[in-house]
Amino acid sequence: MQNKRWFPRAGALRTPLRILYWAPLGIVLTTHWYNVRVISGPSMQPTLNPEWSLSKDYAVFDKVAVLDKQDCHRGDIITLKSPLDPKYKLIKRIVAEEGDTVKTLPPYPLKEVKIPQGYVWVEGDDPFNSDDSNMFGPVPRALIESKLVFLIWPPSRVGKLEEPKLPLSGTGPTFRRAMAAFERAHARQSRVTPAAKIVIPERV
């Protein structure tokens, strides 16, 4: 009995060929422009890895944003090299920028700090579980590596992280979490006095 040769159908080859076609672009994007990180640790709770979530958060980070110093602002969540040991990467929030004055938290020895040029003040959203600027002071912008763009996992939380807003009404755990997030963000912002903007009058 003669053996029949099997040839894959054209449709069966489409998916692998598409993967091969787009793979170089994916490698370039993840190497130079974007990368996906698994968020570990409790320092950014409840914004990231909230206790009520059953899985760790996965997020896309923009590497290009850090090339433009004007694209990383107060309130952004970033990755940076630890100023204590560059081998370790941290995920924190920019609380204050150049020229801002921030009221510090323990154990920082000074009650207030004015952020020098080229530096930022970073903190975790959970101050009781975060080693941040309240321990090591302002950090150089040069240590920033990327900025969080949006979450891609878990499915219930996919999308951009919006600034918490005051919930108008509601009951139950969802309302309480929203209210707690708003109060935490408000308390963090109230500790910062933004740098005075210099206005140059127009010539008449």
Q: Token pair for residue 132? A: 């941040």
Q: Is residue 180 part of a domain?
A: no
Instruction: Please tell me the distance from the alpha carbon of residue 121 to that of residue 176, in angstroms, as a whole number.
Output: 29
Domain with 68 in it: 32-163
Closest listed residue to residue 190, CA positions, set 76, 72, 95? 95
Q: Is residue 116 part of a domain?
A: yes
Q: Is residue 171 part of a domain?
A: no
Q: Is residue 113 part of a domain?
A: yes
pLDDT score at 44: 95
- With contact defined as beta carbons under 8 Å apart, do 79 and 145 qualify? yes
Number of domains the chain contains: 1
The mean pLDDT value for 171-179 works out to 84
| 3-state secondary structure at position 127 | helix
Closest listed residue to residue 80, CA positions, set 72, 89, 71, 69? 89
The percent of residues in the chain predicted with pLDDT above 90, rounded, is 57
Catalytic residues: 43, 92
147-168 pLDDT, tens digit each: 999 999 999 899 999 888 888 7
Please say if the pLDDT value at position 28 is more than 50. Answer: no
Q: Is residue 195 part of a domain?
A: no
Q: Token pair for residue 65? A: 């944003």
Q: Is residue 55 part of a domain?
A: yes
Q: Token pair for residue 9? A: 């159908």
Q: Is residue 141 part of a domain?
A: yes
Residues facing residue 193 across a β-bridge: 101
Q: Is residue 173 part of a domain?
A: no
73-107 pLDDT, tens digit each: 999 999 999 999 999 999 999 999 999 999 999 99
Q: What CATH number did the domain enclosing 57 receive?
A: 2.10.109.10
